[in-house]
Amino acid sequence: MSMFCYQCQEAAGCKGCTNRGVCGKTDDVANLQDLLIYTIKGISLYAINYEHIDDITERVNKFIIDGLFSTITNANFDKVIFVEKIKKGLAIREEVKEALLKEGKNIENIKHDSALWMESTLEEFEEKAKSVGILSTENEDVRSLRELLIYGVKGMAAYAEHAYNLGYTNNEIVTFMKKALASTTDDTLTVDEMVGIVLECGKYGVDVMALLDKANTETYGNPEITKVNIGVGSNPGILISGHDLKDMEELLKQTEGTGVDVYTHSEMLPANYYPAFKKYEHFVGNYGNAWWKQNEEFESFNGPILMTTNCIVPPKESYKDRIYTTGSAGFEGVKHISDRVDGKAKNFSEIIEHAKKCKSPVEIEKGEIVGGFAHNQVLALADKVVDAVKSGAIKRFFVMAGCDGRMKSRNYYTDFAKALPKDTVILTAGCAKYKYNKLDLGDIGGIPRVLDAGQCNDSYSLAVIALKLKEVFGLNDINELPISYNIAWYEQKAVIVLLALLHLGVKNIHLGPTLPAFLSPNVAKVLVDNFGIAGIGSVEDDIKLFMGEE
C-alpha cells in the first residue's frame, strides 16, 4: 500500500484506493494532499485562538479554503502545487503562532504534532506524509467520523471560495471550519461529541450555500427559465468547466468582440440561466455532458478548455496542450492561469489567442435543454405548482440532486427517471442531472417534469422550495411533504449537501449508487437510525417504496 484515500464514491472496491486513485491521482500526490490537510489542521489549532479580524486572519482563511478545495476529488493533480502549498502553510502556521505569542497568549497546551512539525524538502515531506494519512487514526469509528467531518468541510470550502471570489465572506463559517479541523486532532472527544460536530457542520453547510446563493444572485441576477442551445456555432470556441462564476464573467468580458465563442461544460451549464451572462451574444450554449465524458468531448471540441474547479479527468496527450486550469484546479504539465492580483481581473489573453488558432467545435448534439428553476423562478410559479399538487396533477416530487460519475451502475438514475410515474416531477441540481436532462419526460400542465435549479450548491434552492411548500401547505414537518430524496453522490461537495439536508430535518434520504466507503458500520448505523439514510435497490422496488406502494 503506497497511499490510502477513500473520500469519493469511486474508492477502489468500495474500500479505498491504495496504490493509485481510480480518479487518476498518483500515490505521491495523494500523500502530499494528506500532508497538506495535516498542515491545515496545525494552522487551525492556533487560528482558533486568534480572534482578530485582520490581514493575518484574511491570509489564514484564504489559505485554508483554497488548500481544502484543492484536495477535493478531481480538482488538482499537480505535485508541485501541493509542495508549494505545504511550504506556504507552514509559514502561515508560524505567523499565527508568532502573533499569538506577541499578544501574550499561552500556546503551550497546543501539543499536537500537526502544530509543531517542521520540515522543508520534498523528501522530508514525503517521509512525513507516511505517518499522517487517514489510516493513522486506528479506531475505525473515530476515523470515520473525522473523515466525514473533513469531507464536509472540504465541500464547504469549495462553496466559500466561490462566494469569496465575488466579495462575499462570513467569518463564522471559516471559524467553524477551523474548529472542525482542530477537533480531528483531539483524542479526548467522545463519539457523541464528534457526531455533534458533524451535525453542526450541516448547519454551516446551509449557511455557506445561502451565502453563495446570495453572492451569485446579487451579482448576476436570479436564474430564470432558459432554453440552452446544445449545438455549436461556426467560430472557434473556449469551453469553460467547473463551478466558478467569477471566472465565467471575466472570460465572457474578455472574449467579447474577439471572434471567439464561449461554451459551458458540465457544472458550468447553469451559467446559461443567469441574466448577466445571457446578454453576451458570443455565449453560444453548453457543449457535452457530465465531467466523466471529457476524454471524448474535449477531443471534439477542438478549442481550449478552461477548468475552473473539479472535475478534471487526466487529459489525453492529444488535447492536453489545450487544457488550462485556474483557481484551486491544477494538473501537472498543464498551463495554470494565475489568481487575481489587487482585485484586477484574471488575464485570459493566452487562452483567447490560443482559441483563435483552433477549428470550431465538432457538433455532437443538437437542440435545447431547459433549466433555470432556482428558488426565485419556482416561487414565481408557486401558485401553479401548489394548484397542481392540490388537484393531484403532481403526486410527488423527487429530489435527485448531486453528482454524476462513470460507474455503469449509475444508469439506475436514467432508468429511475424514465420509470417514474408521469404525475411526478424531478427537482435536480449538480451534474447528476446529465443522467436524465436530455430525456423527453414531458410536462405537467406546462411545468416541466425535470426542474434544474443549477449547480450542486444550488441544492440550497431545492431546500428553499421545500421549506416554502411546507409553509404554503401549513405543515409542521418538512417530511410531511410529498417529496422523496434520491441523491447521487461522487465527491465531497455532495457530503456537505447531504449534511445540510440532515440539518434541515430531511429524513429518509436515499444515497447511491453506493454508500460511502468512509462510513464505518457503526457510523452508518447512526445515520440510518437517526435519519433513515438508505442506499438504493432496484428501480422498480425503489419507486414502489417512494410512492408508498409497499
- For 422, the 3-state DSSP assignment is coil
Residue 366: exposure state from Cβ atoms within 10 A (0-12, 13-18, ≥19)? exposed
Q: Does 23 bind ligand SF4 (CB under 6 A)?
A: yes
Query: ω before 513 within 30° of 0 (cis)?
Result: yes
Cα 309 to Cα 321: distance, rounded to the nearest angstrom: 18
- Chosen residue from 169, 377, 424, 455 binding ligand SF3 by CB under 6 A: 455
Q: Does 210 bind ligand SF3 (CB under 6 A)?
A: no
Query: Taking CB positions, which residue lies at the least distance from ligand SF4?
Result: 21
**C-alpha grid cell, residue 213:** 446563493
Closest separation in Å from C-beta 134 to ligand SF4: 10
Q: Which does 262 bind (CB under 5 to 8 A by kind): ligand SF3, ligand SF4, none?
A: none
Stretch binding ligand SF4 (CB under 6 A), from 10-18, 81-89, 131-139, 345-353 = 10-18
Of 431 and 519, nearer to ligand SF3 (C-beta) is 431
CA 190 to chain CA centroid, Å, is 29
CA 290 to chain CA centroid, Å, is 13
> In the window 471-490, what residues touch ligand SF3 (CB under 6 A)?
490
Number of residues that bind ligand SF4 (CB under 6 A): 13
Q: Do 325 and 335 meet the contact criterion of CB atoms below 8 Å apart? A: yes
Q: Do 379 and 432 meet the contact criterion of CB atoms below 8 Å apart? A: no
Q: Does 497 bind ligand SF3 (CB under 6 A)?
A: no
Q: Is 14 among the annotated ligand-binding positions?
A: no
Q: x/- contact string, 359-398, with ligand SF3 (CB under 6 A)? A: ----------------------------------------
- Chosen residue from 39, 61, 73, 486 binding ligand SF4 by CB under 6 A: 73
- Which residues are registered as beta bridge partners of 263? 239, 285
Q: Does 8 bind ligand SF4 (CB under 6 A)?
A: yes
Q: Do 536 and 508 meet the contact criterion of CB atoms below 8 Å apart? A: no
Cα 299 to Cα 287: distance, rounded to the nearest angstrom: 12
Q: x/- contact string, 252-291, with ligand SF3 (CB under 6 A)? A: --------------xx-----------------------x
> In the window 25-54, what residues touch ligand SF4 (CB under 6 A)?
25, 30
Q: x/- contact string, 131-170, with ligand SF3 (CB under 6 A)? A: ----------------------------------------
Buried b / exposed e across 322-332, counting CB within 10 Å, b at 16+?
bbbbbbbbbbe
Of 243 and 470, nearer to ligand SF3 (C-beta) is 243
Q: Do 274 and 215 meet the contact criterion of CB atoms below 8 Å apart? A: no
Q: Does 17 bind ligand SF4 (CB under 6 A)?
A: yes
Strand order in the sheet with 510-512: 450-452, 424-428, 396-399, 483-488, 510-512
Q: Is 201 among the annotated ligand-binding positions?
A: no
Neighbouring CB atoms inside 10 A of 51's CB total 11
Closest separation in Å from C-beta 290 to ligand SF3: 7
Q: Does 10 bind ligand SF4 (CB under 6 A)?
A: yes
Q: Which does 10 bind (CB under 5 to 8 A by kind): ligand SF4, ligand SF3, none?
A: ligand SF4
Q: Which does 23 bind (CB under 5 to 8 A by kind): ligand SF4, ligand SF3, none?
A: ligand SF4
Q: Which does 7 bind (CB under 5 to 8 A by kind): ligand SF4, ligand SF3, none?
A: ligand SF4
- Chosen residue from 6, 220, 324, 416 binding ligand SF4 by CB under 6 A: 6
Q: Does 431 bind ligand SF3 (CB under 6 A)?
A: yes
Q: Which does 8 bind (CB under 5 to 8 A by kind): ligand SF4, ligand SF3, none?
A: ligand SF4
Q: In terms of DSSP H, where are the helices of 48-186?
A: 55-70, 79-102, 113-116, 122-129, 140-165, 171-183
Q: How many residues does the chain have?
A: 550
Q: Does 460 bind ligand SF3 (CB under 6 A)?
A: no
DSSP string, 443-511: EETTEESEEE--SGGGHHHHHHHHHHHHHHTT-S-GGGSSEEEEEE--SHHHHHHHHHHHHTT----EE
Q: Does 5 bind ligand SF4 (CB under 6 A)?
A: yes
Q: Do 362 and 302 meet the contact criterion of CB atoms below 8 Å apart? A: yes
Q: Do 215 and 298 meet the contact criterion of CB atoms below 8 Å apart? A: no
3-state secondary structure 29-84: HHHHHHHHHHHHHHHHHHHCCCCCCCHHHHHHHHHHHHHHHHCCCCCECCHHHHHH
Residues at the annotated binding site for [4Fe-4S] cluster? 5, 8, 17, 23
Please report, in range form, the residues annotated as the binding site for hybrid [4Fe-2O-2S] cluster. Answer: 243, 267, 311, 403, 431, 456, 491, 493
User: Where does this chain bind ligand SF3 (CB under 6 A)?
Assistant: 74, 243, 266-267, 291, 310-311, 403, 430-431, 455-456, 490-491, 493-494
